[in-house]
Structure 1
Amino acid sequence: MTILELQQLKESEDKVEFKAATKNYSFAGSEHRDQAERRRCFLGYVVAFANEGGGMLVLGMADKAPHEVVGSDFGQGQIGALEDETYSRLGIRVRMEELYENGLRVLVAHIPSRPVGKMLKFEGVPLMRVGESLRNMSDEEMFAILSEQEPDFSAKICEGLKIADLDESAIKAMKESYALKQKNPGFIQLSTEQVLSDLRLQEEGRLNYAALILLGKKEIIREKLPQCKTIWEFRATESQIHHDTREVIEEPLFLAITQMWRLINQPTLNKKYPIQVGAYIFDLFDFNEAVIREAVLNAEAHRDYSITSEVVIKQYPAKIVITNPGGFPKGVTIENLLTVSSTPRSRLMTEILEKTGLVERSGQGVDKIFSITLSEGKAEPDYSDSNMYQVSLVLRSEIIDKAFHIFISQYQNSDREPKLGVEQIITLCKIRNGISQNLKGAMVSQLEKMGLIQKLSGHTLRYTLSEEYEQLVSDGLKIGKRYIVQELERILLELQGNALKVGALEASMEDFMKRSQIRYLLLKLVDDEVVIVDGKLRGTRYSLSEKFKDLRGDKLIAEVLAFLRGRYDSL
């Protein structure tokens, strides 16, 4: 905008607020003790504008018409930091714009609307503007917001969309998936028109956005709904900003999901770890296919298609981050994610994904993500970076407890009943981690009767996992008769990127191992070609072999353990 255009605006009609803010305009009001004064700050007005559907806060122009330019130093030279701090505190992206007239600076803050059914708060209070003041939102206003219903975008008619604009391969994939899920092989033989009508993708000859998103040719999707795409990126380290590889997926969802998984599941990016304990042999991957498909399809089905942003998948060696525009559906928070029944934004599209077996029954997809991930001995799925405007899911690849995976898998694969659900598995994780407070009494009682937990000796309200788990932990600490895993991990971490003498290793590991133990372990590692020797006598140094020298941290440990376990199949 130009300053002249700003001067033509009217505050009430054009959703704009002018403030002189010439010197020391407050960002968060913390320097004031009076509540009314504290609110009349930058963040207070951002909250109020967002609650009213968005607008502009103009600093550096007089409040009264014709809004003379007086100049403001607020945020000068710190626009990026101002946007970041606003987002950090409110979870809202405010775009800043600087204008100048006769050397005087004007700052325009473009404030977006709050999401449907949600309100922003300043110091715990939802605010509205009244003249020059900011007041508490009334009970009636809050109830009206909380009662709002998001329209089903996917059921909305996509004007001009024709059957010829749909991808035949996607239609075929949808028919086959539906026939398999519903055990109805005759469905494949139905005409496209009949299928579209039966699944409510076509109403009175007109196709809706669900048809476009699920089945549309990519050039048609690009034309009618350009934000309906998914960005996949890979970075070799979590600290780097620029990606190593990037792909834009614009195909219809019935084809795109396979393409996304193919990118994530490249052999060099999704590694397999064969693990054997006793007679139990299993393979674990960095990223589980069922978890990834459910997480990605949840992001696609629950995203807000009115926001011109894409679903983004960022893959790293040790984690995947899946982000979709739009916060959680109405009524869902991080705290109640596993317990509340929500209404999806795109209800029609979600129903079709359920009927074709691509996702779990509505409200159970997150359960599946948690159940499988925790059962594999990995960290809990992390939604903590989510806010009102995006949902962000972090899935980590590190197997932090192999014994727990075996413990759960052996029970689930046995004839013992009942089988474990997500709440039982989460409770078992908490007990494994030493948490006994605030557990559901009925759940604890059930797990005790199932023989999966037991009371700690001398305690009536503290529990531990059963002896079966403890035995698995004990067995899993050894590789054949040669290595103790804990000792092996410590020496590998010392050697990563280093060529060290025994003395240097002894100095850093004296609390864990004696010199004789270190020397004995090094000789075994040399025999097994994990470590190489350079030099003689006092100049002897030990370093990782060519196969492992470039690996670090968890990857190094996992690769060496897998290599050694492959050698000692008596494990």
Structure 2
Amino acid sequence: MTHLLPTAESLTVEFKSDRKRLPDSDLVEALVCLANAEGGELWLGVEDDGTPTGLHMDHRNLAGLAGLVAARTSPSLRVQVDGVEANGLPVARITVPKAQSVVSTVGGVYLRRRLKQDGTPECTPMLPHERESRAASLGLVDVSAQPVAGATLADLDPLERERLRQAVQQYGGDRVLLELDDEALDGALGLTARQSDGARVPTLTGLLLVGRETSLHQLVPTHEFAFQVLAQQAVRFNEFRRFPLLKALDWLETNFRPYNPEDEIQVGLFRVPVPMVDMAAFREAVANALIHRDYHRLGAVHVRLEDDALAVSNPGGLVDGVTLANLLVTEPRPRNRALADAMKRVGVVERSGRGVDTIFRGMLKFGRPSPDYSRTDAHSVVVRLPTEPADLDFRRLVVEEERRRGAELPIDSLIALAAIRELKRVTAEELADRIQRDAASAKRTLEALTEAGLVQAHGNARGRSYTLSAAVYQAAGDKAGYTRQAGFTALQNEQLVLNYVRQHGRIRRAEVMELCRLSEGQAKDLIKKLKGRGALVQHGERRSAYYTASA
């Protein structure tokens, strides 16, 4: 079959010349290289510049190629081989999936594909720590549960254990932990692991939570974090530390508070604080970066206050299965499970594993934009929390509704209200993208807000859209705002129909439905209104009816 060749090599596309018969070992290594990255396609019989030169005679029979690859890789790599004609020459397209474990050749060669600084791809050897990092990102191993080579119980700090117990009380953690002695506490939280001889050895989780600072520096050299304050390109604060995690969180929060001014609003009899950055969102974002970073990679966790946002970044991309498109709805998949579980039991992070919801809530409830993860890539996770002024009317609306309910608004409802506030009018399909769910779920959220009196629905069926309700606009002192939004679509639809008639001479009811995204009944009402004003003239009856502009 013929097939359009890719224009150039990339992270997922590799070209291999076969004019001199590519050695089987080179072919297998190239496929291993792709599998240990994102998978992709290897085009055999194509030069590096994308010019097809054809397959060698020895490779014209492709039947055994998939078996050869499976036999020479460990674990066996399953590939799909297709014969393709390019510019009249036979070439082979070999499709290789992303490996769900670390793959090597049977000769023990580990390779991975990466992009160089100029954007071109290359295959490089996978060093032992890179193989461990890859396995951790796939959820195959948990480095945080493993003993740290060279560590002893003397590397654990009694003062940090006391800090841990105080944190359980402060954050409302698992109070059963407070009844345990040191050895039982270490076992319950996975701070130590027993060896075959019965001796206890600190795990990475143990060192990170209650380790001595000097021991962390020597035994966990990848652990480091920084707090930086940048104002108009000037550096006002810039310090790096290697504290154990509970002390690190205290230190970061203490240093951040002076840079986090707070206003207040009056809601009924109560005064509600309005900080520049919600402290629950700050704590969750920082804790997530420290817990879920890749401890195989050098590099610090950065907490950076910029002119327009608080940015938190950590080495190591999102774990396998988590993407920016499912961040809000995917099941928790921690890279360091033992460490994450320990921090949840202490109470530092959200115990349901839905810490991302806490970060979103901390932004949206103040009428600020959603957290921005767009700078995240394969090497680091970056979240930016915009620090623009809060919308005080929106904050008052959220507080009043949550007090009426006696509970927090669901995160999907907050996202919906924020979207309508921003866009003025949304449909279920538009909201579905924002809450990362299907249109039916989005519609249920919008209808629930409609029943609560916060949102007004307009239209039926496919053309149904939603605005903030008249009561919300009135409470915000913007009575004209509702009228503008509620009346805008009707006026717009009238103009769409009249413009269509001017351009095409006539219009049918079905065309009105398609043009304005209206139901049949809505289209009838619109046509009736335009006829009543003398703007349209009807010709024919029922299904054969069409309408023209009046003379």
Aligned to 1:447: 449
Aligned to 1:250: 242
Counterpart of 2:348 (choices 354, 358, 363) is: 358
Cα 1:277–1:190 shift into 2, 3 Å: closer
Q: Distance in 2 between matches of 1:284 and 1:471?
A: 22
Q: Distance in 1 between matches of 2:460 and 2:163?
A: 59
Matches within 5 A, 1:103-118: none
Counterpart of 1:165 (choices 133, 155, 166) is: 155
User: Is 2:377 aligned against 1:423?
Assistant: no
Q: Alpha-carbon deviations, 1:333-382, whole Å to 9, x = none?
A: 11110011131100000001111110002530001111121001111110
Q: Distance in 2 between matches of 1:401 and 1:365?
A: 24
User: Is 2:402 aligned against 1:409?
Assistant: no
How well do the aligned residues superpose, as a CA RMSD in angstroms? Answer: 3.7
Aligned to 1:231: 226
Counterpart of 2:473 (choices 470, 483, 496) is: 470
Matches within 5 A, 1:184-333: 187-188=177-178, 190-204=180-194, 205-237=200-232, 240=233, 243-266=235-258, 269-276=259-266, 281-333=271-323
Aligned to 1:38: 7
Aligned to 2:533: none
**How far is 1:186 from its partner?**
6.7
**How far is 1:421 from its partner?**
1.1
**How far is 1:418 from its partner?**
6.6
**How far is 1:466 from its partner?**
2.5
Q: Distance in 2 between matches of 1:119 and 1:214?
A: 32
Cα 1:277–1:230 shift into 2, 3 Å: same
What SS class does the counterpart of residue 38 from structure 1 fall into? coil
User: Is 2:390 aligned against 1:435?
Assistant: no
What amino acid sits opposite 2:139 in the alignment? Q
Matches within 5 A, 1:32-111: 38-39=7-8, 44=10
Q: Give the TM-score normalised by the residue count of structure 1.
A: 0.58
Q: Distance in 2 between matches of 1:376 and 1:159?
A: 47
**How far is 1:184 from its partner?**
6.5
Counterpart of 2:388 (choices 390, 393, 398) is: 398
What SS class does the counterpart of residue 235 from structure 1 fall into? strand
User: Is 2:371 aligned against 1:381?
Assistant: yes
User: Is 2:95 aligned against 1:138?
Assistant: yes
What SS class does the counterpart of residue 311 from structure 2 fall into? strand
What SS class does the counterpart of residue 212 from structure 1 fall into? helix
Q: Is the 8 A contact 1:331 1:342 kept in 2?
A: no
What amino acid sits opposite 1:422 in the alignment? I
Q: Distance in 1 between matches of 2:204 and 2:350?
A: 21
What SS class does the counterpart of residue 141 from structure 2 fall into? coil
Percent identity between matched residues is 25
Count residues with an aligned counterpart. 372
Structure 1's unaligned 5+ residue stretches are 1-33, 50-63, 65-112, 478-571
**How far is 1:141 from its partner?**
5.5
Cα 1:476–1:396 shift into 2, 3 Å: farther
Cα 1:138–1:364 shift into 2, 3 Å: same
**How far is 1:208 from its partner?**
0.7
**How far is 1:274 from its partner?**
2.6
User: Is 2:464 aligned against 1:461?
Assistant: yes
**How far is 1:301 from its partner?**
1.0
Q: Alpha-carbon deviations, 1:218-245, whole Å to 9, x = none?
A: 11111111220101111112xx2x6332
What amino acid sits opposite 2:467 in the alignment? T
Cα 1:458–1:347 shift into 2, 3 Å: closer
Cα 1:142–1:219 shift into 2, 3 Å: closer
Q: Alpha-carbon deviations, 1:407-446, whole Å to 9, x = none?
A: 11111122x2674211111112122222224142222222
What amino acid sits opposite 1:442 in the alignment? R
Q: Is the 8 A contact 1:350 1:362 kept in 2?
A: no
What amino acid sits opposite 1:364 in the alignment? R
Structure 2's unaligned 5+ residue stretches are 15-21, 23-31, 49-91, 103-133, 195-199, 432-441, 481-551
Q: Distance in 2 between matches of 1:151 and 1:186?
A: 28
Q: Distance in 1 between matches of 2:238 and 2:316?
A: 23
Counterpart of 1:339 (choices 329, 334, 347) is: 329
